[in-house]
Amino acid sequence: MPALDAVACTGPWRHRHPGEKAVLAFGLLCCAVAVPPWPGALVVGGTALALLLGPAGLGARRLLRAARGPLLFVVVGALPLLFSVGGPTLVRLDPGGVGAALALAGRATAALLCLLLFAATTPLADTLPRLARLGVPAAVVDVAGLVYRLLFLLLDRMAAVRAAQAGRLGFRSFRTTFRSVAGQAGAVFVSAFDRARRMEQGLALRGDPGSLRVQLPPQRLSRRFLAGTAVLLAAVVTLSLVPV
């Protein structure tokens, strides 16, 4: 199981109602999108970061491991704003693009932390059954659950292939590493295609009995948590609108 899913299933907020965590995380996400990037990005991002490292119990090492991939995309997306095309040279640095690049990076990082706040505290198994109650088609919920299960199977398959290649010294040089990675990609693709085909056959043999129903533990929305969330969001918006 990936580290983020393990934290979501064992964290301090595991038994809280998903609606409470959704109001908190997506409320902060709306603030990250709506308020001015400065100082809004710092306020929203700092709040989400404090919640992740504090009450959510994610830990700095796990947070860095979960965020480093998306942060790379943020950096790649912000870098083009530093350059402009045209003029005496084909591509040149644009001093006016520094502010836009920083604003984009700050807003995107704050939004990423808000999404991680929900993902690190709410297992997908608690979220999917409740989506059907909110009006999401049952077929969409079923497909999402099957894809989620398939991801775990593919990760196990990748780990097994990599261990087998390492046992045959497949990573001793650049050439063997390149060959092993290519072979791993091919093996995982074939395995994913085969498992998807078997899943399709299994769904067809079910005769379309309807959605996959699961029993959910009884949970109630905490008024105290929702009230605290409202106060926190109001404070975030107020601090974000303070002129700098």
Distances (CA, A) of 142 to 35, 93, 132, 187, 215: 36, 49, 10, 26, 15
Q: Which residues contact 52 (CB under 8 A, 6 or more apart)?
A: 58, 63, 113, 116, 117, 120
Sorted by where each begins, the domain ranges of the chain are 3-122+217-240, 136-205
User: For residue 214, what pLDDT is reported?
Assistant: 65
Q: What is the pLDDT of residue 187?
A: 83
- pLDDT (0 to 100) of residue 2: 67
Segments of the chain with pLDDT less than 70: 1-2, 87, 206-216, 244
- pLDDT of the residue at 208: 57
